[in-house]
Amino acid sequence: MEDKCVRLASSASSWARRQTTRIRIESVVPTGSGKSSFARRLFKPTEVLSSDYCRGLVSDDENDQAATGDVFDVLHCIARKRLATGKLAVVDATNSRPE
């Protein structure tokens, strides 16, 4: 089953790169489910926008939940800039909520 999922996702990632419109892919699943590994396996490092990495940039601590608002401001800014230039943006976050 995992191989079938990886093949399907690989096809989807290839399709996303060929699109001329702006594409944003979000992976929103529970902590520890393998989404970061999955994203690293299928997408370029520059295409994957990790909320944990942005948290480290903002607060020097990838686990600092107090920085969440600023973290997602940074992440969304990067995603907007990538999408505006026709680049793929794969958002890797443990949770997502509308604001």
> The dihedral of CA 26, 32, 36, 39: what is its sign?
negative
DSSP secondary structure string for all residues of 39-53: HHHHS-TTTEEEHHH
Q: What pLDDT was estimated at residue 75?
A: 93
Q: What pLDDT was estimated at residue 24?
A: 63
Nearest CA-CA partner of 78 in 54, 58, 95: 54
Looking at per-residue confidence, does 59 or 93 come out higher?
59
Q: What pLDDT was estimated at residue 61?
A: 92
Q: What pLDDT was estimated at residue 27?
A: 61
Q: What pLDDT was estimated at residue 1?
A: 45
pLDDT digits (tens, 9 = 90+) for 21-76: 666 666 666 778 888 888 888 889 999 999 999 999 999 998 888 888 999 999 99
Q: What pLDDT was estimated at residue 45?
A: 93
Q: What pLDDT was estimated at residue 53?
A: 93
Looking at per-residue confidence, does 88 or 31 come out higher?
88
What are the structural domains, with CATH classification, of the chain?
A: 2-93 (3.40.50.300)
